[in-house]
Structure 1
């Protein structure tokens, strides 16, 4: 019996041991990879690592912040998105947690999961004890099981103050566009940041696993590696042609656990075809033109240079300077160079160097370097090619990115890196000024593309030899793709043009070869098509605001373009010869009094023009018919290859009954062609030239074959517009980037112009036929960036509550296109800075009799730490470039338990000196700036200043609250006033200059043991009935719904007999000045409206701010008690009711989640 027991125990132990071993096994996960010309690169995560769904690399680098919509606290959403194919690996897995980078101390964080566009999980994060600047993982209350029939978005929502900038954190690698780089301000409309992936991840619940002995890689069922792999990467060369499933197994002894497979398609070297290069997009009106260059086919020389000498570049820092210069090629560009080797690098320098190395890099890592001897360096001649043979020829790997070039050290003020004459090949040539490491081949230079700085390529090439007989492929034609969809095939040229609606488009090109094979897609080019000029934005014709009443009127001047012009799109470049001397002349356009008649109410603000080449001097002019210069302005910034504007210092009224000349003076070198002309036909007045800017001649009178118009016009606007001219021009890509370059037009000798102007030749007046204009369907009115209403009438009225507003209007045309926004009309509606109100109004209703009780303003609840009985100190900070900062007092959540729900209505702060530049009052929640209100420094006094908040700020539960002020001033001023202490350190004496780094006054100097003279005045929330102790004031006025009910009350209580329904408030009259209104006591009886359920509605009415707050964005309808529709507002999260009179209303919210109704007694 004992033997049997022993055997059973042994068996049980063995089984338990087996189960324990199995529990430690796990499969590799997050397998990623690519196939490049028969080379497969793979990477994965160990079974012991957490399994996550993410596109980022876990490393914080940069950040973005939310925006404030409609004056609310800023909100930001960041997300990683996974499509159905991405989710196949995770199908059936359980997401049990979400991680995010908790970089800044924000107010709120919520974690969300979306299926398609629907939120299926939302969980608020408890921010206590979370570490800052680190990834934090939060367990989900309700885990989520992954499906592969939806699109899954993993998101984090942040609510934060306006003082925080690094909130949504991203990594440094290029964004996985549309997946890893998503952000939003409302959780619905997503944008792409492109420059990184946001740090938010979904954590997959899997059993814990130990580290394996190693890894095996499988192609299908075939193991590829011969020896066990210990790293979590693999590079497989010469993989067979075809599509295969690759997976990685974790090896535990004699057992293996395989990962989810990754499908890759391998193309053998012999089937790889080089891609089209230098793909660019240019836009002309609604036409997008794509251009490219032929693929690089195997040749004896590999280079981007055109061989013509141009400018030069050099190092920029240190007494001994250095540069790296390389030509870069992607593996797709080098597809025809398989089985080739580089035997020499050819260099042309611009100046002497003291040290030189030849370098070759694969995938940005140095794989070959060669020291150039001192003798070879001494033998180098500037501006001459030097062939430098490689000691060991380099065999080109067609699966790797290749860069070759040189590293040189040179003296200051020299520029050895010689460039060609350009234009640059996109993404082809790079420069670095990094210092080389002692172990040279371990240097990792930081590279910069030289295209933006130089628009040229290095004078640099490589000699290449084939190692076997090579058959060069032949291109048949090209196929163009727009946003991943084929739009045109069989293109035999190197350009493609199409007309598009306004928007941004991404193009790629595929090269097709005569052997039936095709290349991969080229590098992409982006084209942004802007709204044509005829889709005119509205112009405000009448703006009025008085005592809360706003009235806007506008018009769309579709027949009056905001530019006077005769020209069309640039087509030609034109110039003059002058026997080797510079050419100086005026180029312009004439507009007759008949053409200007409709512009009597307009003014000219500047000149629009287009230059095709560099010029030495440029000045815009406006000249009258009687040869008077009305305005001129020398251009300080000159652009070429695109439309640009030069504004006059002051606008000039369009003259009535007279013609004008609009143009520019230009100085350029003999033989250059910097002046742009259109395709014609010539319009009378469209081709004017002058020697002095006053006497003009039509160029067509000098050259009878000239049939174009010079590209120059005048900016115009209505007189008295709110802002300076901001005419929207149709951008044209720079000439050097044009897919169809501007054609040269033969010019005449400068002497011909001098002869013609001597006789005063001029043109005949003519007009150009007008095109049909698009029709306006309706208008959209925007307030503070959000849609306020859509209307067919060109006018808008509203009654505004106190606050700041920015209004703009767009026109929607019959084809659905929306114009640009009008100029902005700004309203700053400030509350009268009334003194604090009577405090603690409460009421008791008994048999329709309302008894009201209140206290005097002096009894109001104040938050402060100062000793009001002590003397005062003056404190000032110093700083090298002016002083600024927030000075606040702080109350933590425990201090405020009895104040939750009350409102901060006034902030008091004492100043010893009012010589200030700016000032404001401020409120922070948890060190997040949630309210800031500018204060006119002219109204400030030395001593105590009492400022009323335009919008009272509520005391929230569970949050620290800081109140105070902001000032900026020059050094030497000591405006900040304190008591004589001792300080309530960390609460009564806080300072921040940047809004994020906080100090105490005492920490700056232990002797500054004082509290700021700051107080916050509180007012009770509106309530039904709470009796307060009486305290007399001078006299009091009683109001119902804003209408005076009783004046001159002596006591601090009053009984209203047969009290009507409404909102009762009290003011105090102190020394003849009436204070602000107290909190309200509301008396209400049922209205009899059916189907209105106050108790269950999530929407609620905020009586202090006079708005109904909806639980989500929707459309709100406001009805009277009788059911009449009073107001409709779309796409809002709250409904402002401050413009409505007192009464009972029903608000109906139509939301995504359904409808809600709420009764409001105002």
Structure 2
């Protein structure tokens, strides 16, 4: 995301702590500020600047895009939200406009205001003449008066093509979580982006004033500044203890206009207490463990290093190699260092350098630098501490973020920045390779935290002296907060563990001191608790789809883990001593009959294990509870430092009603530590040892302090499965391509194990009580991401219309927890690629006799620029790594004015070569990709290809429409066919390879003055009655509501006597092949269904999206004109009708608020 400041601490705290303040006319406004250890920082806007409600800083930096839900055009909402407390300063103000960043050319933008979760203003934006990549302010048709008894959300909604990326734009500062960083795909379910604040603002309708002469700052009624301020910011030092209202006045001669007050609480230096540092979480199952380190208390040395040498880093680019290395401390971490000064910086380097400067930064700005003389640089010794005294000692500012370190220049291939042995302290050490400016102190380096790259800290420290007698505070204990709520106090150690439900949790720590004072909250740490493994997801056991009929069956137990294990990630290496002789023993794990109960249909194929060092011999074994060796295998090869597997020659069925031991035999030298163990805690059966592979003992019975599990488990698979059982082959986390060493764990003497087994101690581990296994309550079936149904039966059937579907199933357990989704079952049910339909069906109804007329398919409207009478050319593009792109023709809104409402049903494109990798047809609105349909390249021919759209695309009003195709292929292929020109330049010859940058064929080569051989076939929208007679096709078939009424009609007209109510369509039969259906002619109104509501119904039909939108979630029933139930969908807010043929339908919505019914003419 670009530059960072050290820990972003000051900026993040400032943003999260800022309060908005609105002013009187002529007064400063948008007053923000924070108090940090008796220092108050304030900034504001001038009375001459627009008054806005926003969390962002007006500067675009990054962007996100919407997603397509259920195959619809992507939608994205972005928002800034203000709670009741934020709105107090704005109460009674009028929002007359909303601003947003109009960065990309999208299809639609709407501006919205929400009170709580209810939309109270929604206004579509006229995008004509708006500039791109700039903030745009849109006046509201109906201004809004701010209340302070609701939560107000200011939002922008974007509808855009799948080719458009930077849509919702954010700034580059940390997000004001839950307020400035909100986005949604449906305008209801909001998420946080965290990394920025979205550029959307509410404009307040207050007359602006001229620029003032300057500003005064007040604490209560007391003016703080002595001279008039000309900047729109102030930093106040040594502010008195307590809570005060601060305000800023704009001075106009003798007159002052004060801003709305901002309340801040000041803590004096003597009351500030350092925070806990390096807060981290570890999750094991449902247990979240929080670990932290003690606060930094005043000492003579200030450092993050442990003093043990490790690896090194250096500059890697540029003719002059250089690095900046600094230790960073927040003001809250340095609270005990008030009235201290840094007198020297201690450096340990890994290699020689040619130039060195010491640097000290406050809030990321260099405030002190000192060039080290050449003779001192020459005297530096690598891997030895060098103390470099500061010419002028630096007095630590307790209110500022402090960073100190060095800048060095070095030769290529050297790495002077020496690190310690780790692990890294979170957010403590930073590196930069920025070039220093000639005026060195004005350099603003771009910093990177070294934790991810090195997991270590700089070998770097500072000598610190107190300037007066200091009393070091003493920590009494700690309080843990989860998501801002206190969960445990009085903790005297540096760790806390609790069991949680699955979810994401944010923890902070407050340090409490014996003098009764407490620190601020520490930096936060996040724990993500995942659903336990026993909450198994379903797996499909039978899937069948044929001619629109779908059948799914599943089993909740067939997705059990493919490994029996008790261990976690390797943490320790372990071994035993044997008076100088080799050690030979079995290491394993026990699994009880209760643990194996769900694996009745499985078989064990081998053993997974982890060794930390070489062994002389290795064999894997499987042993039954009655001391029988069920399988064994000597390892052909042995790996160390990673998980590996040894398979048995034949799989062994998991025994029913019995426990087993899985393990390995290892022969290794006395004193070696080849056995891997995890971090614990120990699980019953996870620490088994044996001398002969049949009689086993828990090692914790020998060493009561042992609290880990040996890293060994069994591979399993379903019986008869040909799929090999697998395990994740893990390695310990690498640092600079070297393995992180495991920690040693002291082991007992081998004689202790012999004694334990000789006396029969725990020869077979006592079977533990059966765990309380979760039970499945029901299942949820999802289709295309939306809930289709809930059922208690593990099966589902449905009748599908043409389209693409993705089905997945989850299990819902009795405690309400929902499992992960099963694997996806995909159905691609495509309509037959029928030829274009008869065109322009219309009808007249006279005395119940319906006369229908139509035109032959050849008479259909086509969108194209090609000269069909000319010869053809073959054109191909070239690229270094393969060719791909969209080739389209464009019609602007004026060209299509008389075609609005018609549908694109087929796209024709001619190819000269079909040696393609992929192909698709595509439709764009205003260069936004709104429809794309893959085409099987095996079906393409050299010449004209006619592809029927699975879902016809409407010609909209007021938008440019582009139609064409996409191909990808290797270099050398020339698949694209053109006419011989001349080109309708900018319309008949468009190309884009990325979907956003457009060119014409002629602009690439002036001699390529041709049009693509592309056509789009149009079909009329459904209508009531228009009569047109045209030449006949071969023969025609007449349908009512999809049922054949008359076959083999020779003419292009037909009279239906005593015509029944319904939807009439016609197909042509050309050369024995039936075409697609024409548009529909509708007769009558629905019968057999009562309470059809028109006009005032809250549900409505969106003809462009071809869906019925319900006012709330409910169950929808779709009926034909004759009252036949066609389709039923549950738990939806809209009903997709794109898969239904043209006609009249009645949609009945069963909602919590009652029933609604509407008639739909499609």
**TM over 0.5: same fold?**
yes
When structure 1 is superposed on structure 2, of 501-510 and 1125-1134 the one drifting more is 1125-1134
Query: Is 1:98 the equivalent of 2:98?
Result: yes
| CA distance 1:368–1:681, change in 2 (3 Å) | closer
| Structure 2 match to 1:555 | 555
1:678 Cα deviation from its structure 2 partner? 6.5
| CA distance 1:968–1:699, change in 2 (3 Å) | farther
Whole-Å Cα distance in 1 between the matches of residues 315 and 8 of structure 2? 80
1:650 Cα deviation from its structure 2 partner? 15
Q: Secondary structure at the match of 1:19?
A: coil
| CA distance 1:734–1:1012, change in 2 (3 Å) | closer
Whole-Å Cα distance in 2 between the matches of residues 749 and 798 of structure 1? 66
Whole-Å Cα distance in 2 between the matches of residues 1008 and 627 of structure 1? 83
Partners of 2:1086 and 2:1145 within 8 A in 1 = no
Whole-Å Cα distance in 2 between the matches of residues 651 and 868 of structure 1? 68
| CA distance 1:831–1:732, change in 2 (3 Å) | farther
Q: Secondary structure at the match of 1:811?
A: strand
Deviations 1:55-102 (A, max 9, x none): 111111111010111111000000011111111221111111111111
| CA distance 1:744–1:153, change in 2 (3 Å) | same
Partners of 1:282 and 1:732 within 8 A in 2 = no
| CA distance 1:196–1:1136, change in 2 (3 Å) | closer
When structure 1 is superposed on structure 2, of 823-832 and 674-683 the one drifting more is 674-683
Q: Secondary structure at the match of 1:1118?
A: strand
Deviations 1:749-796 (A, max 9, x none): 999999999999999799765412112222211111122222222222
Partners of 1:285 and 1:730 within 8 A in 2 = no
| CA distance 1:468–1:648, change in 2 (3 Å) | farther
Query: Is 1:467 the equivalent of 2:480?
Result: no
Whole-Å Cα distance in 2 between the matches of residues 1046 and 113 of structure 1? 55
| CA distance 1:1052–1:612, change in 2 (3 Å) | farther
Q: Across the two proteins, how many residue pairs are aligned to each other?
A: 1162
1:643 Cα deviation from its structure 2 partner? 10
Whole-Å Cα distance in 2 between the matches of residues 840 and 656 of structure 1? 71
Deviations 1:95-151 (A, max 9, x none): 111111111110100000111111111000000011111111100001111111111
| CA distance 1:1030–1:1002, change in 2 (3 Å) | same
1:565 Cα deviation from its structure 2 partner? 3.0
| CA distance 1:673–1:266, change in 2 (3 Å) | farther
1:184 Cα deviation from its structure 2 partner? 0.3
Partners of 2:1034 and 2:1050 within 8 A in 1 = yes
When structure 1 is superposed on structure 2, of 994-1003 and 1088-1097 the one drifting more is 1088-1097
Partners of 1:604 and 1:653 within 8 A in 2 = yes
Whole-Å Cα distance in 1 between the matches of residues 337 and 754 of structure 2? 59
When structure 1 is superposed on structure 2, of 756-765 and 592-601 the one drifting more is 756-765
Partners of 2:1086 and 2:1122 within 8 A in 1 = no
Deviations 1:458-482 (A, max 9, x none): 1111111111111111111111111
Deviations 1:1001-1028 (A, max 9, x none): 0111111100000011111122221112
Whole-Å Cα distance in 2 between the matches of residues 288 and 391 of structure 1? 49
Partners of 2:803 and 2:1139 within 8 A in 1 = no
1:801 Cα deviation from its structure 2 partner? 1.9
Q: Secondary structure at the match of 2:96?
A: strand
Partners of 2:733 and 2:739 within 8 A in 1 = no
When structure 1 is superposed on structure 2, of 725-734 and 775-784 the one drifting more is 725-734
Partners of 2:117 and 2:188 within 8 A in 1 = yes
Partners of 1:321 and 1:410 within 8 A in 2 = yes
1:10 Cα deviation from its structure 2 partner? 56
Deviations 1:419-464 (A, max 9, x none): 1111111111111111111111111111111111111111111111
Whole-Å Cα distance in 2 between the matches of residues 634 and 995 of structure 1? 58
When structure 1 is superposed on structure 2, of 249-258 and 511-520 the one drifting more is 511-520
| CA distance 1:5–1:375, change in 2 (3 Å) | closer
Deviations 1:246-273 (A, max 9, x none): 0000001110111111100011111111
Deviations 1:898-954 (A, max 9, x none): 111111111110000111111001011111101111111111111011111111111
| Structure 1 match to 2:840 | 840
Whole-Å Cα distance in 2 between the matches of residues 4 and 699 of structure 1? 49
When structure 1 is superposed on structure 2, of 560-569 and 898-907 the one drifting more is 560-569
When structure 1 is superposed on structure 2, of 786-795 and 355-364 the one drifting more is 786-795
When structure 1 is superposed on structure 2, of 1008-1017 and 1087-1096 the one drifting more is 1087-1096
Partners of 1:25 and 1:252 within 8 A in 2 = no
Partners of 1:290 and 1:739 within 8 A in 2 = no
1:1130 Cα deviation from its structure 2 partner? 3.9
| Structure 2 match to 1:219 | 219
When structure 1 is superposed on structure 2, of 1087-1096 and 505-514 the one drifting more is 1087-1096
1:328-347 to structure 2, matched below 5 A, reads 328-347=328-347
Whole-Å Cα distance in 2 between the matches of residues 448 and 415 of structure 1? 17
When structure 1 is superposed on structure 2, of 1086-1095 and 344-353 the one drifting more is 1086-1095
Deviations 1:697-724 (A, max 9, x none): 9999999998975234356565899999
Q: Secondary structure at the match of 2:615?
A: coil
1:1152 Cα deviation from its structure 2 partner? 9.2
Partners of 2:606 and 2:715 within 8 A in 1 = yes
Whole-Å Cα distance in 2 between the matches of residues 419 and 287 of structure 1? 33
Whole-Å Cα distance in 2 between the matches of residues 304 and 594 of structure 1? 49
1:160 Cα deviation from its structure 2 partner? 0.5
Q: Secondary structure at the match of 1:663?
A: strand
Whole-Å Cα distance in 1 between the matches of residues 748 and 223 of structure 2? 76
1:970 Cα deviation from its structure 2 partner? 0.6
| CA distance 1:7–1:629, change in 2 (3 Å) | closer
1:993 Cα deviation from its structure 2 partner? 0.1
1:320 Cα deviation from its structure 2 partner? 3.1
Whole-Å Cα distance in 1 between the matches of residues 207 and 655 of structure 2? 83
| CA distance 1:625–1:837, change in 2 (3 Å) | farther
Partners of 1:354 and 1:410 within 8 A in 2 = yes
1:308 Cα deviation from its structure 2 partner? 1.3
Partners of 2:717 and 2:725 within 8 A in 1 = yes
Q: Secondary structure at the match of 1:21?
A: coil
1:1096 Cα deviation from its structure 2 partner? 3.7
| CA distance 1:715–1:263, change in 2 (3 Å) | farther
Whole-Å Cα distance in 2 between the matches of residues 680 and 18 of structure 1? 43
1:213 Cα deviation from its structure 2 partner? 0.4
| CA distance 1:126–1:616, change in 2 (3 Å) | farther
Task: Report the TM-score, using the length of structure 1 for normalisation.
Answer: 0.88
1:580 Cα deviation from its structure 2 partner? 13
Partners of 2:6 and 2:447 within 8 A in 1 = no
When structure 1 is superposed on structure 2, of 1105-1114 and 312-321 the one drifting more is 1105-1114
Q: Secondary structure at the match of 2:519?
A: coil
1:605 Cα deviation from its structure 2 partner? 9.8
Deviations 1:208-247 (A, max 9, x none): 2111000000000110000000000101111111100000
Partners of 1:24 and 1:208 within 8 A in 2 = no
| CA distance 1:582–1:777, change in 2 (3 Å) | same
| CA distance 1:70–1:606, change in 2 (3 Å) | farther
Whole-Å Cα distance in 1 between the matches of residues 696 and 18 of structure 2? 100
When structure 1 is superposed on structure 2, of 1112-1121 and 964-973 the one drifting more is 1112-1121
Whole-Å Cα distance in 2 between the matches of residues 2 and 918 of structure 1? 36
| Structure 2 match to 1:519 | 519
Partners of 1:837 and 1:1075 within 8 A in 2 = yes
| CA distance 1:438–1:1159, change in 2 (3 Å) | same
Q: Secondary structure at the match of 2:771?
A: coil
Partners of 1:1062 and 1:1161 within 8 A in 2 = no
| CA distance 1:182–1:19, change in 2 (3 Å) | closer
1:1042 Cα deviation from its structure 2 partner? 2.0
Deviations 1:942-974 (A, max 9, x none): 101111111111111111111100000011100
Partners of 1:284 and 1:569 within 8 A in 2 = no
Task: Report the TM-score, using the length of structure 2 for normalisation.
Answer: 0.88
Whole-Å Cα distance in 1 between the matches of residues 768 and 65 of structure 2? 50
| CA distance 1:448–1:1075, change in 2 (3 Å) | same
When structure 1 is superposed on structure 2, of 811-820 and 984-993 the one drifting more is 811-820
When structure 1 is superposed on structure 2, of 1092-1101 and 280-289 the one drifting more is 1092-1101
1:803 Cα deviation from its structure 2 partner? 1.7
Partners of 1:304 and 1:457 within 8 A in 2 = yes
When structure 1 is superposed on structure 2, of 178-187 and 745-754 the one drifting more is 745-754
Whole-Å Cα distance in 2 between the matches of residues 497 and 8 of structure 1? 28
| Structure 2 match to 1:975 | 975
Whole-Å Cα distance in 1 between the matches of residues 947 and 618 of structure 2? 52
Whole-Å Cα distance in 2 between the matches of residues 1046 and 17 of structure 1? 75
| CA distance 1:682–1:465, change in 2 (3 Å) | closer
